Amino acid sequence: MFKRGELKQLIVAMRTSGVTTLEVKRQRQSLRLVLNPGPSSHPLSVEASLLAAGDPGADEAPETKFDTATSPTIGTFLSRGLDDGLRPVEVGMNVLAGEVLGYICHGALRTVVTAPVTGMLSDQETQDGDALGMGDIVFKLKVTT
Amino acid sequence: MIEILSIPPLATVQDLGRHGHWFQGLGQAGVMDGLSHRIANLLLDNDESAATVEIPLTPARFCFRRKQAFAIAGAVCGARLDDRQLPAIWAGVAAEGQILELGGIARGARVYLAVPGGVDVPLVMGSRSTQLREGFGGHEGRVLAAGDCIEPIDDTWCTLPAGGFSVGLPPLGRTIDSEIEIRVLPSAEHDNFSIRSQKAFWSTPYQVTRLCNRQGYRLEGEELLWESDVELRSHGIVPGIVQVPGNGQPIIQLADSATMGGYPAIGAVIEPDLWRIGQARPGQYLRFVQVDIHEALEAESERRDYLASLTASLVQTRELLRSWS
């Protein structure tokens, strides 16, 4: 969390300002500095302890958000990358918001399924040829922005 | 309005051609790939004859100066709308300021860009096609260049889903790199070629050379020998005619073909397969398949049914989208 030199600077600042206890918390780490009071001629003694992660008051990890790419119409699913000039998609791939993920076919017509957000494809919920209705989930995405 | 930021030469405005003037020595011009042109128009609910921009060379960049629908169809060229990759065939809406980029062509030979109502250029002798040789029609009778603007005839457009529409084209050949089968009717002079030449024409592949353009494609393969003492006078020819000049290497006359020619012809490509030639690149092989008039009409009927089926799917899907919005 702090280098040795930075700790020394903190201690000097505490001594100068008369602060005897300092607690710093960042994400999963915490630092508590306690200066033992005494005449300035006495050497300083510092207690520093790293508090465990999960300590009350520590910053919590950001929540992972998910979203879904859904079918915009009725038809059968067709993967991207078969004959459209695009690279096939696969779970684990990063995609941009609005990117083509696949198609819902009605005869020769294909209605495009797009990524609702920028993220990583975490699950594919359908296979080529599956019949889908409007709103059926095609992909799940882990939101990265 | 779409402003052309950069484009290689040879892109022109074309529709389905200028018909009815052959007897005056004026060729039909028109698109090289009628199928992709029609699909791009259908996706925007245009009449199939609405003018599009035919782009035979890339890369090219366009800027949408206002929000507008558009469609692309034809060759696979890594098309992007800003940072979003598009399939080879796509119709959707671009926001003002967005950039459409067509990258290097990986498969096929021509990309078609359609706009609502068709490209707004003057109607000349019943068509909006560019007659390059004659210097009229299309956009000022010339190829398009950076700085030119593509205006749509219509300011509004049909219902399009947020992600857009696409279509799967029939494959050019059996596999991506395989020969392209072209269905051909034997022509009037077919039987005057040597038996060996007839067999070679129908059984061996012919490679598209670099000498290919809108007027015609020169091919290279087994030599074809004309075995008649009769000297042919110049006679009317049409796009699709496979002529054989003195060197024995065939030439397929295409959209900007001359109206008359004196070379003997061994066959005529059926009209529903001309699009395959329009999407063939130098180095690819064509293999001619003999058909009769009934098979040719059946092929025409199949194409008509395919486009009718696509139209029906579009109507139904647009209706559904409107009812849900």
Predicted confidence (pLDDT) per residue in B26-38, tens digit? 999 999 999 999 9
Whether residue A73 and residue B85 make contact (CB cut-off 8 A), yes or no, is: no
Given a cut of 80, whether residue B287 has pLDDT beyond it is yes
Judge contact between B139 and B121, C-beta under 8 A. yes
Whether residue A73 and residue B321 make contact (CB cut-off 8 A), yes or no, is: yes
Q: Which pLDDT does position B266 carry in this prediction?
A: 96
- Residue A33's pLDDT band, with cuts at 50, 70 and 90, is confident
3-state class (DSSP) for residue A77: strand
Please report the number of interchain residue pairs, chain A to chain B, with beta-carbon separation below 8 angstroms. 81
ipTM score of the complex?
Answer: 0.91
Average pLDDT over residues A76-89: 94
Average pLDDT over residues B54-77: 96
B34-43 vs B293-324: helix axis angle to the nearest 10?
A: 20
Q: Which pLDDT does position B79 carry in this prediction?
A: 96
Q: Which pLDDT does position B229 carry in this prediction?
A: 74
Model-wide pTM > 0.90: no
Q: Which pLDDT does position A45 carry in this prediction?
A: 54
Judge contact between B158 and B93, C-beta under 8 A. no
Q: Which pLDDT does position A28 carry in this prediction?
A: 62
Enumerate the residues of chain B whose CB falls inside 8 A of the CB of residue A80. Answer: 87
Choose among A89, A85, A95: nearest CA to B103: A85
Better-predicted residue by pLDDT, A25 or B121: B121
Distance from CA of B255 to the nearest CA of A (A): 27
Q: Is some CB atom of chain B closer than 8 A to the CB atom of A72?
A: yes
Given a cut of 70, whether residue B297 has pLDDT beyond it is yes
Given a cut of 70, whether residue B210 has pLDDT beyond it is yes
- Residue A5's pLDDT band, with cuts at 50, 70 and 90, is confident
Whether residue A108 and residue B310 make contact (CB cut-off 8 A), yes or no, is: yes
Contacts (Cβ under 8 Å, ≥6 apart) of B322: B159
- Residue A37's pLDDT band, with cuts at 50, 70 and 90, is low
Q: Which pLDDT does position A23 carry in this prediction?
A: 80
Q: Is some CB atom of chain B closer than 8 A to the CB atom of A100?
A: yes
**Interval B131-167: pLDDT, tens:** 999 999 999 999 999 999 999 999 999 999 999 999 9
Q: Is some CB atom of chain A closer than 8 A to the CB atom of B161?
A: yes
- Residue B276's pLDDT band, with cuts at 50, 70 and 90, is very high
Distance from CA of B143 to the nearest CA of A (A): 27
CA dihedral defined by B114, B119, B124, B130, rounded to 10 degrees?
-60
Using the 8-state DSSP alphabet, how is residue A4 labeled?
H
